Structure 1
Amino acid sequence: MGLLDALLHLANFFAPGVVVGGLASSLTWLFWHRRLAAVGVRWRMLALKASSAGMLALLLGLVVLERDGRMGTYVLMVVSVALALWWFGLRRLPLEAGH
């Protein structure tokens, strides 16, 4: 395997984490952008944290399950992206009155 093949293989391994993190961050920003911006959260930071959580989950799944592409790994990726979005963005939002 050449260097280019190795880099493409690595990029394809981490791509689901980046895509899920980016899409989830975009949807989060779409629905709560005014409130998130008011508390100092930026989309770029949210996408970086969520994508990083997704990539770490993929790596952890590979180490623990010893195979790429297992359903448990993808469940862990989705949960970790959701937790990262909540931790770095949504938990900072004040509760609305009446809810």
Structure 2
Amino acid sequence: MTPLSVLAHLAGFVAPALGVGWLLWAGLRIRRKGRPGVGSAMQLALLCLAGIAVLILGLVYFGRDGRMATYAALVMTQGTLAWWLRGR
């Protein structure tokens, strides 16, 4: 496998976490809410890193990528984190 191919596989692996994280972060920005002391860039980083961690855990647990249970856990984890970052 070439380095470019490895990069393409990694980008495809983390794309769902980055996409959902960015959408939730944009929702936080539209509502102009956020936990005091947590900057906008930090919110985006936390959302994306939590999503990538869930995808890695799903890969380790199930032994392969792309299981619906992993994606459900991804949405639940990032949604809960966005709710917490909003300050509720």
TM-score after normalising by structure 1: 0.79
For residues 11-22 of structure 1, the aligned pairs below 5 Å read: 11-22=11-22
Q: CA deviation at 1:41?
A: 2.9
Question: Of the candidates 68, 75, 78, which is equivalent to residue 78 of structure 1?
Answer: 75
Cα deviation, 1:16-38, whole Å, max 9, x if unaligned, reads: 1011001111112211x1x427x
What amino acid is aligned across from residue 5 of structure 1 in structure 2? S
Question: Of the candidates 52, 57, 70, which is equivalent to residue 55 of structure 1?
Answer: 52
Higher relative contact order (CA 8 A, sep 6+): 2
Distance across 2 between alignment mates of 1:36 and 1:27: 11
- How many correspondences in the alignment? 88
Which structure 1 residue ranges, 4+ long, deviate > 4 Å from structure 2? none
Distance across 2 between alignment mates of 1:30 and 1:44: 15
RMSD: 1.6
- Kindly, what percent of the aligned residue pairs are identical? 36
CA contact (8 A) 2:28 2:34 kept: no
Distance across 2 between alignment mates of 1:9 and 1:66: 16
Distance across 2 between alignment mates of 1:70 and 1:4: 25
CA contact (8 A) 1:20 1:78 kept: yes
Q: CA deviation at 1:84?
A: 2.1
Q: Name the SS for the 2:78 alignment partner.
A: helix
Please, which runs of 5 or more residues in structure 2 have no aligned partner?
none
Please, which runs of 5 or more residues in structure 1 have no aligned partner?
94-99
Q: Which has the larger radius of gyration?
A: 1
